[in-house]
Amino acid sequence: MLVHNVFFRLKDSSSETRSRLLDSCREYLTDHPGTAFFAVGTVVDDLARPVNDRDFDVALTVVFEDRAAHDTYQVSERHQAFIKANSETWAQVRVFDSQD
C-alpha cells in the first residue's frame, strides 16, 4: 500500500474556505481506481500539544492499493481538475508519501 498525505495551508483559513476545499476534495479525489481509503478533514483546534504540527488547515489522506494506483491518480483528469480549481487558494501544500 501507498499512503498519500497532503496538508493544505490556505491563504484564507476561514471556515467557509475550508469547507469549500473539503467539498472539492470529496468531489474530485474520491473513488479513484485502486483507492483503499479516503479521508479529508480540518485541523483539530484543541489538540495543541507540543508535538502537534498545526501549520495546516485541511488534511487529506488517500491510501492506494499500490504504487501503480497512486501514479495513475496523480495524472488523472479529476486530480488535475482539482489542482486547477483550488491551487489559487493554497498558501502552502506539503505532501508526505509512505509505502509499506
Cell numbers placing 15: 471556515
Q: Report the Cα 18 to chain-centroid distance in Å.
A: 12
Q: How far apart are CA 54 and CA 50, in angstroms?
A: 10
Q: Is the pTM of this model over 0.85?
A: yes
Q: How far apart are CA 1 and CA 65, in angstroms?
A: 5
CATH number of domain containing 36: 3.30.70.100
Q: How far apart are the first and last CA of the chain?
A: 6
Domain count, the chain: 1
Domain hosting 17: range is: 2-46+54-99
The per-residue pLDDT for range 58-98, each reduced to its tens digit, is 999 999 999 999 999 999 999 999 999 999 999 999 999 99
31: left (phi > 0), else alpha (psi -120 to 50), else beta? left
The per-residue pLDDT for range 32-51, each reduced to its tens digit, is 999 999 999 999 989 989 99
